[in-house]
Amino acid sequence: MVVPPLLRAVIMGPPGSGKGTVSARIIKHFGVKHLSSGDLLRDNMQKRTEVGILAKSYIDQGQLIPDDIMTQLMLNEIKGLDQYNWLLDGFPRTVAQAEALDKECHIDTVIDLDVPFETIKCRLTARWIHPASGRVYNLEFSPPKVQGIDDITGEPLVQRDDDKPETVSKRLQAYDAQTKPVLEYYRKKGLLKSFSGTETNKIWPHIYAFLQTKLPDVSQKDAANPR
């Protein structure tokens, strides 16, 4: 039996595009290792590693973390995954990061979640939370019984700063400016596979069918032992 080559994939999509949900489904069905730059950063900052302390100093000043720091962080982690299929999330974010990644390994495919910004704005700005319990409401899918009030305690709901319309617009514009060149970089290499739509559940079957051409579905057998 011929062993298929290991998959080296990247997932891209603006905040609120359903990237977390899609990544979780890819992990479940295809047993890939998921490497999120955000999770890795938080972990390093929590453990106060050298890179973590350095990264935090930029974040605290409201600056973007320089390419070389992010690249070093991610490539160190990738080196430990050479026996596995993997999916990168949140990296590369710039063309310089993509070029540095190319020097280390060959990327097979880049999954791009192409969700209209208007859809994302509605999705994110519809989210309200009850701060004390962490209960989350969505005005579209799971609204509170009384607008602006927590169902259980009757206390007022709040909107996180991140979910306020003006902040969401800024985040989407920043993503667009930063990421367009990276999408273009992979498009020219013939690696970009865009999946368009407004609902994750409708986009997912297309992503699943595409990945099935590359990997077997392990969720039926034994998801505990990814290759």
Cα separation, 52 vs 74, whole angstroms: 12
CATH code for the domain in which residue 152 is found: 3.40.50.300
Please state the pTM of the whole predicted model: 0.84
Determine the pLDDT at residue 223: 41
* Mean pLDDT of the 1-23 span: 87
Tell me, yes or no, whether 132 lies in a domain: yes
Say whether pLDDT at 198 is over 60: yes
Q: Write out pLDDT tens, residues 125-140.
A: 998 999 999 899 999 8
Position 157 in a domain: yes
Within a domain: residue 154? yes
Block residue for tokens 């920043």:
174
Tell me what pLDDT residue 43 has.
93
- For residue 22, the enclosing domain spans 6-211
Q: Is residue 194 part of a domain?
A: yes
The domain total for the chain is 1
Mean pLDDT score across all residues of the chain? 91
Q: For residue 227, name the pLDDT band (cuts at 50, 70, 90).
A: very low
The confidence band for 221, taking pLDDT boundaries of 50, 70 and 90, is low
Is 221 within the bounds of a domain? no
Mean pLDDT in residue range 7-31: 94
76, part of any domain: yes
Q: b or e along 87-122 (b: 16 or more beta carbons within 10 Å of the residue's beta carbon)?
A: bbbbbbbbbbbbebbeeeeebebbbbbebebeebeb
pLDDT above 90 covers what percent of the chain? 75
Question: Are 108 and 8 contacting, i.e. CB atoms less than 8 angstroms apart?
Answer: yes
pLDDT digits (tens, 9 = 90+) for 30-73: 999 999 998 999 999 999 999 899 999 988 888 888 999 999 99
Would you say residue 216 lies in a domain? no
Question: In this structure, which amino acid lies at residue 28?
Answer: K
- Residue 219 resides in a domain: no
Active site residues per annotation: 19, 93, 127, 160, 171
Write down the pLDDT at residue 110.
98
